[in-house]
């Protein structure tokens, strides 16, 4: 089953960046940041491509950017969506 999701594995985002001109162009505008998901560390690096704006992203000195509480509650407003194949 194909489902719309807001998160993507970092490696898949990089592959899409290399192979899809439209996604490449979007990423290079500076309007979006890749932000890691706030979950316990796993072998997989997942995250969001989120609008680069203080309403959605917190960038503290020396730390990786993270989603604001507002962004976490409104992912469809601030994050790119991807199609993912989900096992039933």
CB of 47 closer than 8 Å to CB of 36: yes
Measured on CA atoms in the order 31, 7, 57, 69, is the torsion positive or negative? positive
Three-state DSSP state, 77: helix
Under a CB-based contact definition with an 8 Å cutoff, are residues 6 and 26 in contact?
no
pTM for this predicted structure: 0.82
Those residues with Cβ within 8 angstroms of residue 47's Cβ, 6 or more apart along the chain or in another chain: 7, 8, 10, 13, 34, 35, 36, 37
How far is Cα 56 from Cα 41, in angstroms, rounded to an integer?
Answer: 22
Tens of pLDDT along 11-47? 889 999 999 999 999 999 999 999 988 665 555 678 9
Share of the chain above pLDDT 70, in %: 88
pLDDT of residue 76: 94
């Amino acid at each position: 089953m194909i489902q719309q999701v807001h998160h993507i594995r970092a490696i898949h985002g990089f592959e899409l960046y290399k192979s899809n001109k439209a996604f490449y162009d979007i990423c290079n505008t500076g309007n979006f940041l890749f932000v890691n998901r706030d979950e316990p560390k796993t072998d997989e690096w997942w995250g969001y491509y989120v609008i680069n704006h203080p309403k959605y992203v917190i960038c503290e000195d020396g730390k990786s950017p993270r989603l604001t509480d507002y962004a976490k509650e409104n992912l469809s407003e601030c994050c790119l969506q991807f199609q993912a194949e989900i096992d039933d």
